[in-house]
Structure 1
Amino acid sequence: MLTRTRAVLAAATAMLLAGAVQAAPPTSVYLKKAGASDLYEKTSSQIVLNSTRNPEVRRFASMMVTDHTKSTAMVTSAARRSGVRPGAPMLDPMQRRMVAELRRADGRDRDRLYIDQQRQAHRQALQLQQDYAATGSAPALRRAAANIVPVVQHHIDMLGRIGR
C-alpha cells in the first residue's frame, strides 16, 4: 500500500511539474466536491441497479456503490484527522439534472445515459483527486486523494470497455 501511495504521489508530482495538474481547491471546496461526487455515483448507480437487465452495467453500478462508499469513508476519516468536519454531501445542480435525466429514461436508453454520465463524472472526479493529491493543503486528505486516484482511473478504464 505504501509503495502504491508513493508511486501515485510521484506520478502526481510529475504531472504537476509537467503542468497537467491544476492547483487544488481549498480543503472545504475539495470536501464539498468529493462528497458530491461520491453521492452522485451512489445515487445514479442505485437508480440503474433497480432497472438494468445488462449484467455488465449491473456489475459496474454495483462496484460504484461499494467503491464510492469506501472513498466517502476514506475522505471523511482523513478530514477528521486533519481537524476538519465535512458537511453532509449534497449534489450540485448539474448532478441533480443528471439524476433527473436518469430517472426519466428507461431500459437500454437509461443504461446508455448512465454510462455516458459516468464517463463525464469520473473524468471530473479524477481531476479533483489528482489536483488535491498533488497540491492540497491537508496532508491526510492528500494521502486519501492519492489512494483514490488509481480507483477512479480503474473505473475510467472499465467504462472504456463497457459495451464493446
Structure 2
Amino acid sequence: MIKLFSASLVLALSTTAVAQTPPPPPPPEAKSQAMPYVMAAGRSDLYEINSSQIALEKSQTPAIRKYAQMLIMHHQKTTTATMKAARRAKLDPTPPMLDPGATASINELQSAQQTDFDRLYIAQQIPAHQAALDLHTSYASGGDQPPLRTSAKAAAPVVKRHLDAAMKMQNGGTTNRM
C-alpha cells in the first residue's frame, strides 16, 4: 500500500512539474567586444520578441499579455538601436538569430500546457532579463566601441524595468495561481 502511494505521488509530481529552460547567458567576450555584444544583444532581443509573441497566443492572463506586448515593442526598439550603433561603429552585423538554447526555450513555451504557460513564461523571463541586464551594463561600462556603449547604457534601464515587472508577477501576482 505504501509503495503504491509513493509511486502515485511520484507520478503526480512528475506529470505536474514543468521544466523551465531559460535561454543561455551570452558568452563572456560579449561583455567587452563589439561584434559578440551585438550578436548577443540581438539574440536576446529576438528571444524576448518570439517568446512574447507566443505569450500573446497562449496566455489568457491580462497582466501577462500586457507584459508580453511591452516586451515586443521595447525589444524591437533596442534591436534597432543596437544595429544603428553597430553601423556607426563601422560593423556590419548579420540579423539576429536564436542559438540552440534559446530555441529550446521557445520550443518549451510552444509545447507548454495552458495551465503551466504563464508560470513557465515568467520563469524564463527572469533569468533571460538578468543575463541581458548583465550584458548591457557590462558592455556600457567596458565595451570597446563608444556608439555601442551608449546604446547599451540606454538599453540597461529598459531591461531592468522588464526584470522588475517579471519578478513582481512571479512573487505576488498572476503566476502564483498557476
Residue 32 (structure 1) aligned with residue 26 (structure 2): no
Amino acid at match of 2:54: I
Preserved CA contact (<8 Å) 2:32 2:144: no
Preserved CA contact (<8 Å) 2:50 2:106: yes
Amino acid at match of 1:35: G
Q: 2:117 aligns with which of 110, 117, 122?
A: 110
Whole-Å separation in 2 of the counterparts to 1:117 and 1:25: 25
Amino acid at match of 1:70: K
Give the drift of 1:110. 1.1
Residue 124 (structure 1) aligned with residue 131 (structure 2): yes
Structure 1 stretch 83-92 or stretch 141-150: which is displaced more? 83-92
Q: Which has the larger radius of gyration?
A: 2
Residue 142 (structure 1) aligned with residue 159 (structure 2): no
Runs of 4+ in 1 over 2 A off after TM superposition: 22-25
1:58-97 equivalences under 5 Å are 58-97=65-104
Map of 1:4 onto structure 2: none
Give the drift of 1:145. 0.1
CA offsets per residue over residues 69-108 of structure 1, 9 Å max, x none?
Answer: 0000110111111111111111111101100100110313
TM-score (structure 1 length as normaliser): 0.84
Whole-Å separation in 1 of the counterparts to 2:76 and 2:110: 21
Map of 1:14 onto structure 2: none
Whole-Å separation in 2 of the counterparts to 1:90 and 1:118: 18
Q: 1:41 aligns with which of 29, 45, 48?
A: 48
CA RMSD of aligned residues (A): 1.3
Whole-Å separation in 2 of the counterparts to 1:41 and 1:158: 14
Amino acid at match of 2:156: V
Partner SS state of residue 73, structure 2: helix
Gaps spanning 5+ residues in structure 2: where? 1-27, 173-178
Residue 101 (structure 1) aligned with residue 112 (structure 2): no
TM-score (structure 2 length as normaliser): 0.77
Preserved CA contact (<8 Å) 2:56 2:65: yes
Map of 1:162 onto structure 2: 169
Could you tell me the percent identity over the aligned residues?
41
Give the drift of 1:49. 0.3
